[in-house]
Amino acid sequence: MHLVQLFLPLYDNAGNAFPRAGFDAVRAELADRFGGVTAFVRAPAVGLWEDDDGAVQRDDVVLLEVMAQNIDHGWWAAYRRQLQRRFRQDEILIRASAVERL
């Protein structure tokens, strides 16, 4: 079993909030494909990273999680590219961890 986490930005690069409908669509897509989704939307996480110029960048992000029996790398790569276009990002982080269901 795998836990897949998606980190979606709340704001575009100009500081404008993305419409809630965009997050609702992703949540619905994941629920349809994986039979459920958990969205952490009330208290956004803060992501910090160093860009190519050495400057620290910040994003407020929403975290979505799904459980998957197997990882279809091709599907996830295509979905990540789709999300990057929708949210106008150079990169959206999606990560998977092996987990044990208790």
Looking at per-residue pLDDT, the higher value among 102 and 44 belongs to 102
Number of domains into which the chain is organized: 1
Q: Is the pLDDT of residue 21 over 90?
A: yes
**pLDDT for position 96:** 96
Give the domain range for residue 9. 2-61+69-98
Beta bridge partners of 46: 60
Label residue 82 by pLDDT band (50, 70, 90). Answer: very high
Residue 20 belongs to what H/E stretch? helix 20-34
> Residue 47: phi, psi to the nearest 5?
-105, 130
**pLDDT for position 13:** 81
**pLDDT for position 45:** 66
> Residue 13: phi, psi to the nearest 5?
-70, -15
Label residue 43 by pLDDT band (50, 70, 90). Answer: low
